[in-house]
Structure 1
Amino acid sequence: MTSLLPLKSATQSRDRDLDPQLLGLTEESAGDILSAISSLTARRILDILYDEPRPTSEIATTLDSSVQNVSYHLERLEDADLVEVVDTWYSAQGREMDVYGPTNSALVLYTGAETVPPSLKRALGRSVGGIGAIGVISALVHFQWTETGPFAPSRRVAPIGAQPPEPTIQESIMNFITGPGGTLLTAGLVVIAVCLLWWYWRRYRPARQQAQSI
């Protein structure tokens, strides 16, 4: 009689949205990874899983090894965050089998400052810092302009003996936008955006494509 339980799903590494892992040899986690893949068996297991996620029994059959030996290496690879359980299959007897797959699309170990891959998170952080600095400078420029420029309190028209009228919120915003502070802020944002786009297309995108092709 045909089993009603699903025997196998079509889990594929290429179907999962994974990013490459770029790891410097001096990073703290590099020691765990190098220790986990020091064995040829572990490296062969990892190579098999990059080709296609599989349960322990299938890996053991492919390597002509014991399930206990494969389980040992899978545990070490999982502790090093190189593999993870990505699915559950069922045997013909209805027994659940954990299916292992890689945690990244490619593992790249590097050394040397020149090989450090570009980081989108780091670039965005620097951009936010630059925007903040430009915002502070533009606010200072605007404050100085309102104290000495045509909208300074001493230059506002008011009846004799009366205090100069305070500008409304809308007037203050328009004064900032049309003043040197707003001009400086706009120019700074445009420069940061252009630099970020240039960096993305000329450095980050090619590096990511190269890492994914490895």
Structure 2
Amino acid sequence: MSSLLPLKPTPRTASNRDLEPRLVGFEDESAEQILSAVTSTTARRILNQIYTEPTTVSDIATEIDSSVQNVSYHLDRLRDAELVEVIETWYSKQGREMDVYAPTNSALVLFAGAERTTPSLTTALRRVFSAVGIVGVISAIVHVRWSVLTPSPSSRSVELPVQQPDPTMWETLVTFGAGPGGFVLGVGVFLILFFFVAWYWRTYRPARSQTQSM
């Protein structure tokens, strides 16, 4: 492919960017916009070219024998449908910036019927961190309640209380870990990690392997 670039860098392909396939049912909200964006033969050729190799508008126009204006028009529609995105900026011989377009997913699948989507590892990790955060808040509440309800040694003595130095960070963590708050946090995190590992081995890995073999 000819290029206006003095030295053409090697773009990151879909595999190098660790993208996941995108499965869209015909009844999904985004399906209509996607179908509208790829109605034109030119748009489909552009999308196919970008999946083959991320590149610039001018290189796409040269490859499919179309004008830069026409390619730019279809690229805008493909971007609105979240099918392509700009991943890099190259420079021409004249120093002009040139956006490099690449697919947003490793594959695009439109389907009808029962939904069979590949589980998303990113979504699962996001849910894991959210669950850990919730458990952390609950354990902190338990720790505070336990501290309030548990009388301190000074309150049991009739002597005047002696001012104690503020506890260090390590002492605070040890106190938290040895109390019910630490127990709740430990059990909660263990259960979350257990279910995540079980999901990863029983659901994500088989589905991922099946998708890659398609």
TM-score, with structure 1 as normaliser: 0.64
Are the structure 2 counterparts of residues 146 and 80 from structure 1 closer, same or farther at C-alpha, using a change threshold of 3 Å?
A: closer
CA deviation digits over 1:58-116, x for unaligned, max 9?
545554x432654543343244332345454758xx69676543333322345667424
Q: Which amino acid aligns with 2:187?
A: A
Q: Which amino acid aligns with 1:73?
A: H
Root-mean-square deviation (Å): 4.2
C-alpha contact 2:24 2:30 (8 A) present in aligned 1: no
1:162 paired to 2:163: no
**Which residue of structure 1 lines up, in the alignment, with residue 179 of structure 2?**
179
C-alpha contact 1:11 1:87 (8 A) present in aligned 2: no
1:83 paired to 2:84: yes
Are the structure 2 counterparts of residues 189 and 81 from structure 1 closer, same or farther at C-alpha, using a change threshold of 3 Å?
A: closer
C-alpha contact 1:56 1:99 (8 A) present in aligned 2: yes
- Measured in 2, the distance between the counterparts of 1:164 and 1:59 equals 80
DSSP-derived class of the 1:115 partner: coil
- Measured in 2, the distance between the counterparts of 1:53 and 1:125 equals 29
Q: Which runs of 5+ in 2 are unaligned?
A: none
CA deviation digits over 1:103-141, x for unaligned, max 9?
333223456674244344543443344334434544555
- Measured in 1, the distance between the counterparts of 2:92 and 2:140 equals 64
DSSP-derived class of the 1:41 partner: helix
C-alpha contact 1:24 1:30 (8 A) present in aligned 2: yes
**Which residue of structure 2 lines up, in the alignment, with residue 203 of structure 1?**
203
Are the structure 2 counterparts of residues 181 and 62 from structure 1 closer, same or farther at C-alpha, using a change threshold of 3 Å?
A: closer
CA deviation digits over 1:156-208, x for unaligned, max 9?
752xx336779864666544422333223212212212222333344345545
C-alpha contact 2:14 2:105 (8 A) present in aligned 1: no
C-alpha contact 1:87 1:100 (8 A) present in aligned 2: no
C-alpha contact 1:106 1:212 (8 A) present in aligned 2: no
Q: Which amino acid aligns with 2:203?
A: R
C-alpha contact 1:83 1:103 (8 A) present in aligned 2: yes
Are the structure 2 counterparts of residues 45 and 134 from structure 1 closer, same or farther at C-alpha, using a change threshold of 3 Å?
A: closer
- Measured in 1, the distance between the counterparts of 2:114 and 2:162 equals 59
Are the structure 2 counterparts of residues 153 and 108 from structure 1 closer, same or farther at C-alpha, using a change threshold of 3 Å?
A: same
Alignment of 1:133-144 (within 5 A): 133-139=134-140, 141-142=142-143
Q: Which amino acid aligns with 2:35?
A: L
- Measured in 1, the distance between the counterparts of 2:175 and 2:12 equals 58
Q: Which runs of 5+ in 1 are unaligned?
A: none
- Measured in 2, the distance between the counterparts of 1:139 and 1:7 equals 57
**Which residue of structure 1 lines up, in the alignment, with residue 119 of structure 2?**
118
Give the percent of matched residue pairs that are identical in Structure 1 and Structure 2.
46
Q: Which amino acid aligns with 2:74?
A: H
| CA positional deviation for 1:155 | 9.6
DSSP-derived class of the 1:13 partner: coil
Q: Which has the larger radius of gyration?
A: 1
Q: Which amino acid aligns with 1:152?
A: P
C-alpha contact 2:14 2:103 (8 A) present in aligned 1: no
Q: Which amino acid aligns with 1:77?
A: L
Point out the more displaced range, 198-207 or 136-145. Answer: 136-145
Are the structure 2 counterparts of residues 172 and 100 from structure 1 closer, same or farther at C-alpha, using a change threshold of 3 Å?
A: closer
TM-score, with structure 2 as normaliser: 0.64
- Measured in 2, the distance between the counterparts of 1:10 and 1:173 equals 49
C-alpha contact 1:141 1:181 (8 A) present in aligned 2: yes
**Which residue of structure 2 lines up, in the alignment, with residue 103 of structure 1?**
104
Q: Which amino acid aligns with 1:162?
A: E
